[in-house]
Amino acid sequence: IHTNVFAKGRRKVFFLSFFFFLLEHEFPILFAFEQGKILEKIGICSQINFVRYMQGVRTLGADQKLFIKDLCFGKVPVRIYQPKAPSSSQRRGVMFFHGGGWTLGSVGKITNTHENLCRSLARESDSVVVSVGYRLAPEHKYPAAYEDCLNATIHFMRNTEHYGVDPARISVCGDSAGGNLAAAVSQTLAGRSDLPKLRAQILIYPHLQALDFNLPSYQQNQGVPLLFRERAAFFALQYLNGDTSHMEEVLEGSHIPIDIKLNYKKWVSPDNIPEKFKARGYKPYVLLDCPTVVYETMKRFCEPNLCPLLAEDAVIQQLPESFILTCEFDVLRDDGLLYKKRLEDNGVRVTWYHLEDGFHGIMNFSNSDWMSFSSGERGLNNIVNFLKSL
C-alpha cells in the first residue's frame, strides 16, 4: 500500500484494521493471483481457475426475513431474494450484477460478500433483488456477460407479475465489473419501446472504460488493495479476449491509436476530473501511438457495450435517474466521476455519493461477521435510501 495514502493521522486506525482484515481474509486471494500466475506458466492450471479455487465457497444460512430461491431465466441462472413480509402494493425490483472482474463470482456459489450485499439490499429497501449468474471470462469472452445480464433483465421485465414487482420500478445495480454491466444494459434498454422503462441505474465504483489506465485515480491508487492498476487492466483483457500479452501496451496507453483517443478526449480526459481529486499527485503523460497489430486485438474496447463511458450523447440523454458511488482510494474512482459528468451534462438526474475514506470492494464488507467499515455502511445506507425514494 502506498504510504502516502494513509499518511494522515486520522487514517492510522483505519490502516491497522484494514491490514489485519486483509491478512486474515483477503491476502490469500491477493497472493493467489501471483501463485496462479506461476502455476499457469508451468502448465498446471490457469491463473483464474486457481483464484476461483482459493476464493472458495462461503455459504450463509436461511434468512428469517427473505425467501431465497435459485432459478433460471431462460439459460441464465439467477438467485432471487424476496421479502417474506406481505406487501399492500407491488414492490421495487432490482437486477443485481456482481463484481469480480468479469471472471469471479457466481450464483449458487456466490461469494459470501455479494450474498450479504444482496440480502441487505432486499431486506433494508423492501425490494425484490435478482442476482444474475452471468457467464464468466475468459472461458466466455465479451459480450457473453453483457448478453446474459441483458437477457435476464428482459425476462424479469416481462414476468414481473410472478414476483409481485411493479414493472415501472425496476432498477439495475452492480459493483465494479457489475457496474459496467449495469451501465451497458441500461444504455441498451434506453432505446427499447417494447419494454418498460428502467426506473434507475445504481453504479457502485463501476469500471466504465479501458482507453486510459493513467487517469489520476489510476496513478494515485495503483498499489492500493483490493484492486491494483495492473489487475484492473488484466481483468479488462480477460473479458475482452482472454489475451494478456499486450498488458504493457494497455498500461502505457499504446493500445489505441492517437486519433481515436483524441476523438474520445471530450469524454475520457483528466481535464474533466475536478482539481481537488488531483491533489494527491498526478503527472500528465504523453500520448503514445499504437501499432496496427495491437489495435486489431483491442478495437472492441471502443464499443459502448464494453466501455459504456463511450456511448453517444443521444444514448446518454435517454438514461434513467442514476446513483453513482465512488471511493477515494480506488483506481476506478475517475471512471465514476467522468460518467457522472457525462450524465449531468446530458440532463440525467444523478445522486452521487463519494466515500472519502473508501477503497475498492468496501461494499462487500457490509454486515460482515468479522469486520465492517463505517464508510461501507454509509455507502449501503445511501443506496438503500436511494432505492426507497424510487
User: Per-residue pLDDT tens for 325-361?
Assistant: 999 999 999 999 999 999 999 999 999 999 999 999 9
* Burial of 173 (C-beta count, 10 Å sphere; 0-12/13-18/19+): buried
Indicate whether 69 pLDDT > 90. yes
Q: Are 298 and 256 in contact (CB under 8 A)?
A: yes
**Has residue 1 got a pLDDT over 50?**
no
State how far the Cα of 53 lies from the Cα of 48, in Å rounded to an integer: 9
Look at 41 and 389; give whichever has higher pLDDT: 389
266 by DSSP, 3-state: which?
Answer: coil
Residue 226 confidence (pLDDT): 86
Cell numbers at 350, concatenated: 444523478
| CB-based contact 136:126 (threshold 8 Å) | no
Q: Which residues pair with 174 in a beta bridge?
A: 97, 203
**What is the rounded average pLDDT of the residues 96-106?**
93
pLDDT at 281 over 60: yes
Kindly state the average pLDDT of the residues 361-369.
Answer: 77
Average pLDDT over the chain, rounded to whole? 89
Quick one: pLDDT at residue 54?
60
* 167-220 tens-digit pLDDT: 999 999 999 999 999 999 999 999 899 999 999 999 999 999 999 999 999 999
Confidence band (pLDDT; 50, 70, 90) for 35?
Answer: low
pTM score, two decimals? 0.89
Please give the pLDDT value at position 105. 86
pLDDT digits (tens, 9 = 90+) for 120-168: 999 999 999 999 999 999 999 999 999 999 999 999 999 999 999 999 9
Catalytic residues: 176, 330, 360
Name, in order, each residue with C-beta under 8 angstroms of 196's C-beta and a sequence gap of 6 or more.
Answer: 157, 167, 168, 170
Q: What is the pLDDT of residue 4?
A: 43
pLDDT at 2: 41
What is the helix (H) or strand (E) element at residue 250, kind and residue range?
helix 247-252
Q: In the predicted model, what is the mean pLDDT of residues 106-114?
A: 64
